[in-house]
Chain A
């Protein structure tokens, strides 16, 4: 999959999630300032509903997670694994900044 431009770097709100369309799929993007920008599937695999960008950010043992706003499962922003249920996981996306734009792609 190729790199896909999402938005201008300045447009991305800080310290919270926002959803973005990447090649027809809903993706949740989290801009954590110096700690980096993360992107994961926006669909919560526990319910099939597109809501993860609206979840609360969490930090456990130096690992970053988002808690689903529906039933509070935690998904790692770096591995996509669900903390509560090994059977659940989500895709994570690579992010890069290029000439003032934010780009995303699914890792090969």
Chain B
């Protein structure tokens, strides 16, 4: 007999509601429940904490936490744009858009709504709030005509909103009722320093101002009249005066609500109604609302664990472990507001009888204050403004609850070189509640890379502030296991790629034998190395000197494809890919290529990189094919190298009626500039001519999107096995700036990346991530800028078409005589290829026709379904 699964309904698809579903699926509870989520917004869950990032790309894409497809894949029903209007807690049913929905277990994750103070005129035109993507769209719309904007509220969210207005180019002012900014987290002096820093950025800050009314302005749309008789004029207003729990649904059906709002929950996150949980900002626990995401995530975890326990209890299996309980949450936080680093820990505003130590460095713009208990032995809170480097250290001291070992003042002057000693239960990542012990366990299990730890523990994948500490724990744990942390690339060298690169550069090493004799672990007269260290060395020599890769010194180092300047295929034949910069090709060249392909019986396929790949070339035919291609004006496409592949592009404003810049012209110029650059892994670019992004630039290592004012640069995107959207690196660049940044980024990557590390993983492995890369490239924090640019110009200047060079080199051409005694060959079986869809394929391959797909549409065999992409066919 088939038993219906119990119904689990979640109301709300914000960050906490989404985290609940993630946790649920992680514990595979989605198998035991029929799970449905109702979200009131039209989009699935997105990252509300990073909301102002929306304005960097004017798109919600980079904020999305999940897609509808992700939910479907887990078998979780997701219904968006749905308003739940009633809960009948006795009959366990909901009303959703007039329809009745039953539940066995209900989770309320309805979040909060922005509080708009009851000021006369608060409903005037362009008086907005800041919470959802819809709100952002309204702000963006209003900003197209506005010149100035005011944010009412100088708290954490208010300053985020001010950041957004300022990014939209408005003359921005912050109006705060209290006598200081961020009065929940900071004390007066911390708030004062923050104010000075924000004013230095050109924003207006108005404290102790109570807005009495909003009326018509004289020079702008609105005038705010303050109670002290002063006023401020502005074109638009954003209210950010705090949040209120979204408890209306629970309130109407009689679930217990706190005096000042919030759905009352117990330690199990259960409300007063049977089988109804509440989590996140709508929930009130011991008279507290938690307005940060981390405590909401904890509540989600608790609710999942309680539901799991219930399932076990019902199945009569005794529960193996006690379910989690919510025991309150640490509200410590570290963030960057308007570019200013701010952090608060514990009781950051002090308390009665508290002791303290304080550091105020006006010159350096740094303020720190530590609050201690009455005995001065225990750290109870801290405020940091201007420099938050000590945050992790102080937070772990605070969370450990242990007495200070040294006088508190020493905590203000932490010696960076002194090792940080963390307790096993210390929480390293407070976004995802990851302890040191969690990380150590994974390192011992063999995960030694920061990127791996990020993906399996989620540590450092929230705000990323703990990345340096996580790296340190990885290193310490590996050392404790007796492992080398500077693990070498292979059994011949104790150095990683970056160290080898450095050695070759500093010691001017340009051949493998020299490198081997100087730096290999064990001596060997042959100095053969292996298939790992030889190609790495070849790539390093190529990046440093850009010599002909098949010259006598380097030829024996090249990997399968580079060694014959072709892409080795499964049957031992090669594929040939000439460069078609930007995907622009003349009809004459197309015809020429077609004739050559026909002459040598090559299978042809358009690649994902907008060029043409010709397959099935015999080793011995490669020189002849290339001399014909070169005669027709083609050059090598470097498809065989770990090097720049293609710069994909849309057609741009020369033809397209939406384009705002000549994306195709730029793509061709960029491809010609960087062609031939050897790198740790292949590199792909794309240039789009407008925000419609037809060239898919955000999935490339280097992506450029045209704007009205210049170019937006995205970096370290990736398709392939682990897709990653590129990060917005800089906006509205001139072409000169763009090229200078790309020069620096690519050279810095080739210098510092690990072997076969794509830019996406490289960026994730950089401690400090995107901000660190921006500081190195834009602010030149390492003083490397000029050197990186000059190295790149050396490479650009020494470009050569390797096939052109090779065809003039008799020694090289001998490599294509595969057999030394061809006359002794046995009589060949000539049926090496089969013909399908009018082209050839290896005899051993099964060429599918997918009858189930084509049936009824066309004759079998008409549709090419085989997916051959440069991604897949290149090793």
- CB neighbours of A34 from chain B (8 A): 525
- B515-532, CB under 8 A of A: which get 1 and which 0? 000000000111011110
A64 CB within 8 Å of chain B: yes
Tell me which of A16, A49, A51, A67 contacts B530 (CB under 8 A): A67
Assess whether B328 is interfacial by the CB under 8 Å rule: no
Judged by a CB distance under 8 angstroms, whether B563 is at the interface is: yes
The answer to whether B572 touches A56 (Cβ under 8 A) is no
Shortest C-beta distance, A95 to chain B (Å), equals 13
How far is it, in angstroms, between the C-alpha of A10 and the C-alpha of B534 when the chains are bound?
A: 27
Interface residue B752 (Cβ < 8 Å from any Cβ of A): no
* Residues in A lying within 8 Å of B, measured CB to CB: 6-7, 11-13, 15-16, 18-22, 24, 26, 29, 32, 34-35, 47-51, 53-60, 62, 64-65, 67, 69-70, 72, 74
B416 at the interface (CB under 8 A from A): no
Instruction: List A contacts of B826 (CB < 8 A).
Output: 21, 24
Q: Tell me which residues across on chain B come within 8 A of A13, comparing CB atoms.
A: 814
Q: A49-B572, A56-B559, A57-B556 in contact; A21/B819 too (CB < 8 A)? A: yes
Given A26-B819, A55-B560, 11 more A-B residue pairs with CB atoms under 8 Å apart are A6-B820, A18-B819, A32-B526, A49-B570, A56-B535, A58-B530, A59-B529, A59-B530, A67-B530, A70-B568, A70-B570
Pick 19 A–B contacts, CB within 8 A, sort by A.
A13-B814, A19-B818, A19-B819, A21-B826, A22-B824, A29-B820, A49-B571, A54-B563, A54-B564, A54-B568, A55-B560, A56-B534, A56-B560, A56-B563, A58-B529, A59-B526, A70-B560, A70-B572, A74-B531
Contact of A6 with B556 in the complex, beta carbons under 8 Å: no
Contact of A16 among B529, B555, B559, B844 (CB under 8 A): B555
Task: Give the docked Cα–Cα distance between A72 and B570 (Å).
Answer: 13
Contact status of A7 and B572, CB under 8 A, knowing A32-B526, A56-B531 = no
User: Which of A11, A19, A22, A58 contacts B531 (CB under 8 A)?
Assistant: A58
Are B530 and A56 closer than 8 Å at their CB atoms? yes
A14 nearest in chain B by CB position: B556
Contacts A50-B572, A51-B572; is A18 near B820 (CB within 8 Å)?
A: yes
Question: Roughly how many angstroms separate A80 CA and B834 CA in the complex, as a whole number?
Answer: 33
Give the total number of A-B pairs whose CB atoms are below 8 A apart: 89
A-contact bits for B449-484, CB 8 A (1 contact / 0 none): 000000000000000000000000000000000000
Bits for B551-586, please: 1 = Cβ < 8 Å to A, else 0: 000011101100110001011100000000000000
Cα-based distance from A88 to B192 in the complex (angstroms): 73
Which residues of chain A are within 8 angstroms of B815 by Cβ–Cβ distance?
Answer: 16
CA distance A22 to B825 in the complex (A): 9
Q: Are B568 and A51 in contact (CB under 8 A)?
A: yes
Bitwise interface map of B from 808 to 833 toward A, beta carbon under 8 Å scored 1, else 0: 00000011001111101110000000
> Per a CB cutoff under 8 Å, which of B524, B535, B556, B818 touches A53?
B818
Report the separation of the CA atoms of residues A70 and B815 in the bound assembly, to the nearest whole angstrom: 18
CA distance A59 to B491 in the complex (A): 10
User: Among B560, B572, B820, which residue has its beta carbon within 8 angstroms of that of A20?
Assistant: B820
Known: A16-B556, A20-B820. A60 touches B530 (CB 8 A): yes
Distance of A26 Cα from B826 Cα, bound (Å): 10
For the complex formed, measure the closest distance between the CB of B283 and the CB atoms of chain A, giving whole angstroms: 55
User: Taking the nearest CB of chain B, how far is it from the CB of A27, in angstroms?
Assistant: 10
Interchain CA distance A18-B559 in the complex, whole Å: 16
Say whether B568 contacts A69, CB under 8 Å: yes
Min distance, Cβ B815 to any Cβ of chain A, angstroms: 8
Chain B residue at minimum C-beta to C-beta distance from A29: B820
Q: How many angstroms between the C-alpha atoms of A20 and B209 in the bound complex?
A: 90
Known contacts: A6-B820, A54-B560. The answer to whether A21 contacts B528 by CB under 8 A is: no
> Could you say which residues of chain B place their CB within 8 Å of the CB of A60?
491, 530
Of B528, B563, B570, B821, the contact of A58 (CB 8 Å cutoff) = B528
Q: Is the CB of B529 within 8 A of A69?
A: no
Query: In the complex, A13→B859 CA distance in Å?
Result: 53
Residues of B in contact (CB 8 Å), total 34
Contact of B528 (CB < 8 Å), options: A6, A24, A59, A72: A59
A10 CB to closest chain B CB, in angstroms? 11
* Docked complex Cα distance between A86 and B564 (Å): 30
Least Cβ–Cβ distance between A18 and chain B, in angstroms:
5
8 nearest A-B pairs in the assembled complex, by CB-CB distance: A69-B560, A58-B530, A21-B824, A67-B531, A59-B528, A24-B826, A56-B531, A49-B572
A21 touches B821 (CB 8 A): yes
User: Which of B557, B564, B818 gathers the greatest number of chain A CB atoms within 10 Å?
Assistant: B818
- State in angstroms the CA–CA spacing of A59 and B516 once bound together: 12
Given A35-B526, A60-B530, also A20-B570 (CB < 8 A): no
Which residues on the B side are within 8 Å of A55 (C-beta)?
531, 560
Q: Determine if B570 and A47 form an interchain contact, defined as CB atoms under 8 angstroms apart.
A: yes
- Using Cβ atoms and an 8 Å threshold, which residues of chain B touch A20? 819-821, 824
How far, in whole Å, are A35 and B526 apart by their CA atoms in the complex? 8
Residues on A with beta carbons closer than 8 Å to the beta carbon of B559: 56, 69
- Report the bound CA distance from A59 to B526 in whole Å: 8
* Assembled-state Cα–Cα distance A20/B820 (Å): 5
CA distance A29 to B657 in the complex (A): 61
Q: Which of B560, B814, B821 contacts A7 (CB 8 A)?
A: B821
- The chain B residue sitting closest to A35, CB to CB, is B526
CA distance A52 to B769 in the complex (A): 42
Of chain A, the residue at the smallest CB distance from B818 is: A19
For chain B, residues 603 to 658, give those with C-beta under 8 angstroms from any C-beta of chain A: 619
Q: Are B820 and A19 in contact (CB under 8 A)?
A: yes
Chain A contacts for B825, CB-based, 8 A: 21
Bound form: Cα–Cα A70–B564 in Å:
13
Residues of A within 8 A of B819 (CB): 18-21, 26
How far does the alpha carbon of A54 sit from the alpha carbon of B824 in the complex, in Å? 20
Are the C-beta atoms of A11 and B528 separated by less than 8 Å?
no
B760 to chain A, nearest CB (A): 24
A50 — which chain B residues lie within 8 A by C-beta?
572
Give the residues in chain A near B560, CB-CB below 8 Å. Answer: 54-56, 69-70
Chain B residues whose CB sits within 8 angstroms of the CB of A6 once the complex forms: 820-821
Contact B528 A57 (CB under 8 A): yes
Q: What residues on A are CB-neighbors of B820 within 8 Å?
A: 6-7, 11-12, 18-20, 29
